[in-house]
């Protein structure tokens, strides 16, 4: 079933009601992205303290939010699109295809919302304003 451009835009508006600044990809301010995508950094103990609370003696620890933002801004961390049959969180498409995480800010609370699955059509629409089938 082909949706019209209007139906596509309405679906995104409905599924993002109450949200602003909707975008796809990793968000440097998202704690879930930090946990999933942050690359370990050397611990101050250098792995010489088996009871180190930051690294448990492994010598590497989770990055701080600032370190994660640096990793994100330099392109050291990124999310590869992944194939899924799950519905797109934004437009509701049930077609299988690549998905990517997405984020938004809750207007009421100001908190970052982490979403799991945005389809390619939504990625392109949010980034460039192009509707599905407009020649990308």
Q: pLDDT of 29-38, one tens digit each?
A: 999 999 999 9
The model's pTM is 0.85
Do 118 and 101 meet the contact criterion of CB atoms below 8 Å apart? yes
Q: Where are the domains of the chain?
A: 1-25+79-136, 39-77
pLDDT in tens, 4-31: 889 999 999 999 999 999 999 999 999 9
| C-alpha to C-alpha distance for 45 and 8, rounded to whole angstroms | 52
Tokens of 110: 């100001």
- What lies within 8 Å, CB to CB, of 74 at 6+ separation is none
Q: What is the DSSP letter of 55?
A: T
Residue 37: its H or E element: helix 31-37
- Note the pLDDT tens digit of each residue in 58-92: 999 999 999 999 999 999 999 899 999 999 999 99
Which residue matches tokens 């599905």?
Answer: 132
């Amino acid at each position: 079933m082909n949706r019209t451009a209007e139906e596509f835009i309405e679906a995104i508006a409905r599924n993002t009601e109450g949200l602003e600044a909707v975008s796809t990809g990793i968000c440097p301010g998202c704690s879930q992205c930090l946990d999933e995508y942050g690359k370990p950094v050397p611990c101050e103990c250098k792995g010489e303290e088996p009871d180190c609370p930051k690294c448990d003696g492994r010598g590497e620890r989770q990055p701080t939010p600032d370190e994660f933002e640096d990793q994100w801004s330099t392109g050291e961390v990124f999310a590869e699109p992944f194939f899924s049959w799950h519905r797109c969180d934004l437009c509701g498409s049930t077609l299988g295809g690549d998905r990517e995480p997405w984020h938004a800010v809750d207007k009421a609370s100001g908190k970052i919302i982490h979403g799991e699955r945005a389809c390619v059509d939504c990625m392109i629409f949010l980034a460039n304003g192009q509707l599905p089938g407009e020649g990308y």
